[in-house]
Structure 1
Amino acid sequence: MMRDTETAGHRRIFVAAMATETNTFSPIVIDRRAFLDSFYAPPGTHPDTATLCTAPIPVGRGVCAALGWTLIEGTAAWADPAGLVAQAAHEGLRDEILAQLQAALPVDAVVLGLHGAMVAQGCIDPEGDLLARIRTMVGPDVLVCASLDPHSHLTAQRVQAADFFVAFKEFPHTDFVDCARNLWAIVVDTLQGRVRPVMSTYDCRMIDVFPTSREPMRGFVDRMIAIEADDPRVLSLSAIHGFMAGDVPEMGTHMIAVTDGDAACGAALAQRLGQELFANRGRHMMPSLDEDAALDLAVAVTAPGGVTGPVVIADMWDNPGGGTAGDATVLLKAAMARGLRGVAFGTIWDPIAVTLCEAAGTGGVIPLRFGAKSAPQTGDPVDALVRVEALVANAAMVFGESVVPFGPAARIALLDAQGAETGIEVILNTVRAQSYDPSLFTVMGIDPLACRLLVIKSTNHFHAAFHPIAADIIYCAAGKPYPNDPATTPYVHVRADIWPRVADPFGAVEAAQ
């Protein structure tokens, strides 16, 4: 029976977010404290500023306020990427959101902010588990949808439980607010009877890295946007890149097409675009250098007569945004050995070292061991005489419209045995976060434009903010803190029939059939 509020056009919508990205090879367990340190907002306390995977909440506030609809907010939780989510943390957040939804019933739609690459102790597909439980709770006729990070796993359980997904198109993820707006536009059009979303998917049988800051992915994303604008049947197109550090059975690249009731159109479009991605396999990832070649190039670029402005080296595989600790020292030790000056490193994760710096106080000179504590192939700890240049109790940088905490943090200057400055400064942090923006340096009192060389830890999210100030950007593969070669990564659960684990995955599948 239709409720009176439905007759009047009023809608009740539940919204919540539960997100992190799990590198199953990382030794760092995500507990509830990790969510509290990164982002945790109980019902009604989410700030007006959007935060990556939780953007559907503040965007939904504006949408529902304009329409006079009721938005029931559940918990929003995000933890910076690391290893497996502790069972108690996963089940606690899941059950918290489910209880909030149960109390809100009846609702006309459930809108979620998810990442899509969460793996927990005892649950290989937490997002699929959450969606399936929600579908059971609300029944088949209530709209259920979610935004996704493209570095996710598109499992069959999720596809079966949800009406549709919309993923960020850009990597770096500069469009997470636009993604939430697209998600809500489809929700509104559906509830007002203008569209009937149907989701079609295509398995590309591959895993790759797809930065949209360069070709061929830049052109691919532009074509997706053009199709959405030009074809009235198409409500949304999303490329699910996959997340190669997630050892799960359904890891890999997929295409999603959401159409207005035209499943055949969606299936054909998803297949065509998915095959285009597969045809460009191996051409998407940024070319990278080892630490010695990267520093050689940086020195050449900044030599007298060269370009002005800082050269940015991205320590791309020691990326806390991919679940690593962010404490590798391979590049730092190489820079120290060369006697390079005008260098700032942001950041090296070492809570113990920060505590020792706090005890010494600003201006204190101490012998300090820091870095390379988390895992093999991250280098060796650095032993150095250092001066504490700055201490910030709640250090944070920006990422688009988001605020990303990384403190308490300490900025140290490395000294030689006589106490003279070596020309290298390092930011030590206690909350793991990749290097998104130059505000990482300015909040610690470093002028990035005054540096010859900035070394940051990020695969590509840094690009949008650092590119405008960089004389050059160099991608460096130093050590191996991250499983970055899926052809040789010792997966246990990932299927064997995807590229590059096999050269011809489509032929392998056909042969098996």
Structure 2
Amino acid sequence: MGRRRILAGGIAQESHSFNPVPTGRERFNIQSGAAAIAGARGSNSLLGGILDAAAEADVEVIVPTLFRAQSGGPVEDAVFAEMRDILCDAARRGDFDAIVLPLHGGMLTPTLHDPEGALMTALRAITGPDLPMTAAFDLHAHVTPEILDTCDLLAGYLTNPHGDQGATGRRATRAALDILSGRLRPVLSAVHVPMLTLGNDRTDEEPLQGLQARARAAVESGAAYDVSIFNAQQFLDVPGLGQWVLAYGNGRDAAPDALALDLAQSLWDQRRALIGTYPSLDSCLDRAEQGTPRPLILGDQGDRVAGGGPGDSTHVLRALLARPKLPPSVVPLTDPEAVRACHAAGQGARVTLTVGGRHSTVAPPLEVTGEVLGLGTEAHITYDGPADAGYKARLGAYALLGLGNVQVLLTDQPYSYLDPDYFRAMGVDPARMGVVVTRSGYHFTLNFAATGECITVDTPGMTSYRVQELPFTVARPFFPLDEMDFAPALHAHRSRAG
């Protein structure tokens, strides 16, 4: 028998139904073949974990293509179709033994509310029902019946903020190899819970910490082969929005039904406790004015690119400029027009610009006058980690605008700034700032912990946890927008164990 081979690849992006800016091809880092493998090897990423597990088993990995983008508006249909066709063409060649898909799970296109399910269905139509196919998803994925019916095992992150991307890729790969060898006949117990977690949903804090501990104990004791608790992306107006508990057993008589039902009931019982609160922006800036021993790293949760926002809200910038006694501060802002104007003026020029507020309507565009401190047509970053440690990405054009003690990092594309290297790559050392603003709610806290004190602040915008302000229609009913009677019930699905 020759060396076994795994087909891996796909598309990873988290979409926001109410962000009007489509995510086009230019927003994606696209790699394939040896370049994709070299870029991911040794990194704490889903593909990095797939490669690690495959290497341990002496299995080759084939990567026809991997599209990866920051969160944002729905992905253009043509981008999804390009990726799907490349993977399906590779699947038709049939020179592999299993499929492992490193995806996000929370993506939309204008015509598809479940692109990942559509991809799996297309692949399954080519491979037939017997070839092992597993997937690794973000904890904030939108799980659907179509995904569960076509995928033999779906592994989700177990941490939020996410630090186990590599481990999740390894879990999905080991499951595929166990199915291939006959060691695993997965049988799924799945429960959907029609609710959202809103702000108090870190897995290193209660109540999710306790639920994840119970799930982990079940796996460690052998009561389940794998367990994932999915806390769906909160800004998807799609059918069936909500939480999913997936508990996999091994063999026909090993369905962990009681475990899945119990975890789902616990989620529902603690639904009100999963709605969090944050300190005000003013209270954090008061502290910064008084002086803090370490930089304050603030997460602008109202305009989180990490949550699908446009990244052009001027709400925090206005607050910074209103306080001349603040220490040196930096705030990122998406504004292609302002970037072009700075490039036209040149480094060292003094310019007057109207910035931000094109898509984030909570604060209007702002006229500012300052000095162009830095320019670039592109930048390259490597994540410090621990989240996605070693992941490499290319950024587009940027300009650094000085407004006294406030520096505005203008970019032609929205970025989440989950890692300090975003700032360093564009000429700002976050460790030397008094206030650093990220376009993230809490994912930034892992990678910025060594840089400063990380605080998520209560700011308005389309990624604020004030979901009652968003025009949900398709996804309803769900808690907390709707009060309802709910009792956990098992989802019927295809099972390899029969």
Q: CA deviation at 1:256?
A: 0.9
Which 4+ runs in 1 deviate beyond 6 A? 51-54
Q: CA deviation at 1:446?
A: 2.9
CA distance in 2, matches of 1:74, 1:54: 20
Q: CA deviation at 1:314?
A: 1.3
CA distance in 2, matches of 1:389, 1:169: 41
Contact 2:139 2:156 in 1 (8 A): yes
1:309 aligns with one of 291, 294, 301:
294
* Unaligned residue ranges in structure 1 (runs of 5+): 415-421
CA distance in 2, matches of 1:338, 1:54: 39
CA distance in 1, matches of 2:258, 2:172: 22
Q: Which amino acid aligns with 2:480?
A: P
Q: CA deviation at 1:164?
A: 0.9
CA distance in 2, matches of 1:460, 1:433: 15
CA distance in 2, matches of 1:47, 1:27: 34
Q: CA deviation at 1:268?
A: 1.5
Is 1:413 aligned with 2:402? yes
CA distance in 2, matches of 1:326, 1:274: 34
Which structure is richer in relative contact order (CA contacts within 8 A, separation 6 or more)? 2
Secondary structure of the residue aligned to 1:338 is coil
Is 1:433 aligned with 2:415? yes
C-alpha distance after superposition, 1:117-171 (max 9, x if no partner)? 1111222211111111211211111111100111111111111111110011112
Q: CA deviation at 1:345?
A: 2.7
Is 1:327 aligned with 2:316? no
C-alpha distance after superposition, 1:270-309 (max 9, x if no partner)? 11112222222132354224xxx422343236516xx411
Is 1:26 aligned with 2:19? yes
Q: What percent identity do the matched residue pairs reach?
A: 26
Contact 1:247 1:491 in 2 (8 A): yes
Q: Counterpart in 2 of 1:14?
A: 7
2:465 aligns with one of 484, 493, 501:
484
Q: Counterpart in 2 of 1:254?
A: 244
Is 1:287 aligned with 2:274? no
Contact 2:348 2:373 in 1 (8 A): yes
1:127 aligns with one of 103, 113, 116:
116
CA distance in 2, matches of 1:133, 1:90: 12
Residues matched between the structures, number = 482
Q: Which amino acid aligns with 1:182?
A: R
C-alpha distance after superposition, 1:194-227 (max 9, x if no partner)? 2222222111221113222433223433443333
CA distance in 1, matches of 2:370, 2:324: 16
Contact 2:191 2:488 in 1 (8 A): no
Q: Evaluate the alpha carbon distance shift between residue 346 and residue 266 of structure 1 in structure 2; reply closer, same or farther with a 3 A threshold.
A: farther
CA distance in 2, matches of 1:488, 1:381: 21
1:375-390 matches, within 5 Å, as 375-377=360-362, 379-390=363-374
Q: Evaluate the alpha carbon distance shift between residue 55 and residue 455 of structure 1 in structure 2; reply closer, same or farther with a 3 A threshold.
A: closer
Q: Evaluate the alpha carbon distance shift between residue 12 and residue 406 of structure 1 in structure 2; reply closer, same or farther with a 3 A threshold.
A: closer
TM-score by length of structure 1 reads 0.87
Q: Which amino acid aligns with 2:171?
A: N
Is 1:374 aligned with 2:363? no
CA distance in 1, matches of 2:185, 2:115: 27
Secondary structure of the residue aligned to 2:35 is coil
C-alpha distance after superposition, 1:373-407 (max 9, x if no partner)? 12422x12221111111223322442423234443
Q: CA deviation at 1:257?
A: 1.0
Q: Counterpart in 2 of 1:300?
A: 287
* Unaligned residue ranges in structure 2 (runs of 5+): 490-498
Structure 1 window deviating more from structure 2 (358-367 vs 20-29): it is: 358-367
RMSD: 2.6
Is 1:360 aligned with 2:345? yes
Is 1:94 aligned with 2:74? no
Q: Evaluate the alpha carbon distance shift between residue 335 and residue 73 of structure 1 in structure 2; reply closer, same or farther with a 3 A threshold.
A: closer
Contact 2:203 2:212 in 1 (8 A): yes
Q: Which amino acid aligns with 2:232?
A: G
Q: CA deviation at 1:494?
A: 0.6
